[in-house]
Structure 1
Amino acid sequence: MTQSGVSQHIKKLEEQLGTPLLLRDGKQFSLSDAGRKLYQEGQQILQALSNVAQHIGDDPAFEGTVRIMSPGSLGLKLYPHLLDLQVYHPQLSVEYRFAPNHDIENGVVSGDADLGFVTRPSDSPLLHCQPIAQEQLLLVTPASVAVPHWQDLCALGFIDHPDGDYHASLLLQPNYPQYKGSKTFTRKGFSNQIGLILEPVSRGLGFTVLPAYAVAAFDKSAQIRTHTLTTPVSETIYYCCRRGEALPRRLTTVLDEARKWL
Structure 2
Amino acid sequence: MVRTRPLQAKYSIVLVNYKTHELTRTCLELLKTALHGTDVPVFVVDNDSNDASTDYLHGLDWINLIERKSGAPECGAAAHGRALDLALAEVETEYLFLLHTDTFIHDPDVFSLMIRQCSTPEDVVAVGCLEQLNRGVVRSAWRLTSRFAKHYTRRGLRALGLNARAPRPFREKHLKSFCTLWNARLIKHHGLHFHMNGGNPGYELQDRMTELGYRVECIAPRQLFRYLDHIQSGTVAANGGFAKNHRRVRMYNRLSPEPVVAIPVSPYI
TM-score range, shorter chain: under 0.3
Instruction: Judging by fraction of residues, say which structure has more strand.
Output: 1
Find the structure with the greater CA-based Rg. 1
Q: TM-score, normalised by structure 1?
A: 0.26
Instruction: Judging by fraction of residues, say which structure has more helix.
Output: 1
